[in-house]
Structure 1
Amino acid sequence: MIKFFKKRPPANLPDFWKTYENCFLEKQPEEVNSVRFVVLDTETTGFDYIHDRILSIGALNLINKHIAINQSLELYLIQDHYNAETAKIHGILKNGRGTECITEIEALKQFLAFVGNAVIIAHHTIFDINMINQALERHQLPKLLNKTLDTSTLYKKTLLTSNVFKKKDHYSLDDLAEKFDISMKDRHTAIGDAYITAIAFLKIWTRLKSKGPLKLKDLLKLGS
């Protein structure tokens, strides 16, 4: 008989991980209005999950359609990797920023303490989540436990299908900012993109609500 074993989590996990893990003993409310969301964006040296690194993490609290700007998280990481081409996009120069930079493990500690058991919202979520999961793996830590939502996927669910209008496979954050007339003043900064994503999510939420009462489980089915 062949036995299959689940991969065991690393032994002797640090206290900050255990604190994060214990947050999930509390269930999320069923009503979307009562759910705590964290809107996330990362700026990175590139798009390779294995070889590239996170340069900056931006995150915002969102609950009951209110973006808590005063509870935001903005972290800059010490750069062991540098890519001059992507620096032209996000503007984060090696040793060229006055903001204090912290180690990757310290950034992970602060992010986990901030996010808790919130539902994570991001644009093309799989990228940001995979980048953070790879960082966790480098420090022998398990993957994130949070439920996630993707604003690109959710936006497509608000569009009508017809012979005249064809949906794109992917919608960029610029597409959503243009559609919803959102300022792109701080585009390509982690906290700026998190804010644009938060506004886009609220616009999408309004469209989805018009189709009937919205429960968290239904929202997760639509946008995971």
Structure 2
Amino acid sequence: MKWPFKNIIKEYPSFWIEYLAYFNIKTNPKRYVVFDCETTGLDIKEDRILSIGAVAIVNNKIVVNDYYEVFISQTVFKATSVHIHGILKDGNEEKLTEREAIITFLNFIKSATLIGHHISFDIEIINEALNRLDAGRLKNQYMDTDIMYQKLKHFPDEQHTSLDELCDVFKIRKTDRHTSSGDAYLTALLFLKLKRKLDI
């Protein structure tokens, strides 16, 4: 007996097919994208992305004109988180829908290696947004600046260090903290310092 479900192939949206195609293109020199999400909270399933900020690094330099920033119109809003990120539901920022924001984000990152501080959260909340759009999960390789610091100092895996603490350690001036673009830029500076010390 043949099972009727065996040969069913999921049809992905066109934007996802275009994103996957980037991984068939060899890029030289290597491009990193440092990114950060501001969200309504820390629940991957229930919370939503408020903004995404990102900046590219090529040849160990931040490419200032290769950056990305987007604010997302909200279906879920928590006033209790406003004091952290400062993003209001009806603020003055031009906002895209979640779908528009995720598609433009994929077009920006392409096949780059993604960098972030405690990046697993950002990756997973993006993946949840992709799931709502009937797409797959992010295919990019990624690196976490906290894990890089753990390796540098030979700390145990369970010992975590905040972005604020590492900015102090490496004497990085904290500007625009708790904005997605500001945190992405600070993390980019931190990544370059750690990359140099780890010789990678």
TM beyond 0.5? yes
Letter in structure 1 aligned against 2:139? L
> What's the counterpart of residue 222 of structure 1?
none
How far the C-alpha of 1:15 sits from its partner, in A, is 2.2
> What's the counterpart of residue 199 of structure 1?
189
Query: Which whole-Å CA distance do the structure 2 matches of 1:21 and 1:90 have between them?
Result: 32
Q: Does 1:39 align with 2:29?
A: no
> What's the counterpart of residue 58 of structure 2?
63
Query: Which whole-Å CA distance do the structure 1 matches of 2:120 and 2:84 have between them?
Result: 20
Match of 2:112 among 85, 109, 118: 118
Aligned CA distance change for structure 1 residues 14 and 168 (closer, same or farther; 3 Å):
closer
How far the C-alpha of 1:114 sits from its partner, in A, is 0.2
> What's the counterpart of residue 124 of structure 2?
130
> What's the counterpart of residue 145 of structure 1?
139
CA contact (8 A) 1:56 1:77 kept: yes
Residues 110-169 of structure 1, C-alpha deviations (whole Å, 9 max, x = no match): 0000000000001011000000000000111100110010000001111156xxxx8871
Letter in structure 2 aligned against 1:191? S
Q: Does 1:95 align with 2:118?
A: no
CA contact (8 A) 1:152 1:172 kept: yes
> What's the counterpart of residue 107 of structure 1?
101
| Identity rate, percent | 43
> What's the counterpart of residue 172 of structure 1?
162
> Over aligned residue pairs, what C-alpha RMSD do you find?
2.0
4+ residue runs of structure 1 moved beyond 2 angstroms? 26-29
How far the C-alpha of 1:10 sits from its partner, in A, is 3.0
What 5-or-longer segments of structure 1 have no aligned partner? 1-5, 215-224
Query: Which whole-Å CA distance do the structure 2 matches of 1:191 and 1:103 have between them?
Result: 18
> What's the counterpart of residue 219 of structure 1?
none
Aligned CA distance change for structure 1 residues 181 and 168 (closer, same or farther; 3 Å):
farther
What 5-or-longer segments of structure 2 have no aligned partner? 1-5
CA contact (8 A) 2:13 2:134 kept: no
Letter in structure 2 aligned against 1:147? Q
CA contact (8 A) 1:9 1:142 kept: no
Aligned CA distance change for structure 1 residues 126 and 140 (closer, same or farther; 3 Å):
same
Aligned CA distance change for structure 1 residues 160 and 73 (closer, same or farther; 3 Å):
same
Q: Does 1:82 align with 2:77?
A: yes
Aligned CA distance change for structure 1 residues 19 and 167 (closer, same or farther; 3 Å):
closer
Tell me the secondary structure at the aligned position of residue 158 of structure 1: helix
Q: Does 1:190 align with 2:189?
A: no
> What's the counterpart of residue 10 of structure 1?
10
Aligned CA distance change for structure 1 residues 167 and 105 (closer, same or farther; 3 Å):
closer
> What's the counterpart of residue 220 of structure 1?
none
CA contact (8 A) 1:36 1:61 kept: yes
CA contact (8 A) 1:55 1:78 kept: yes
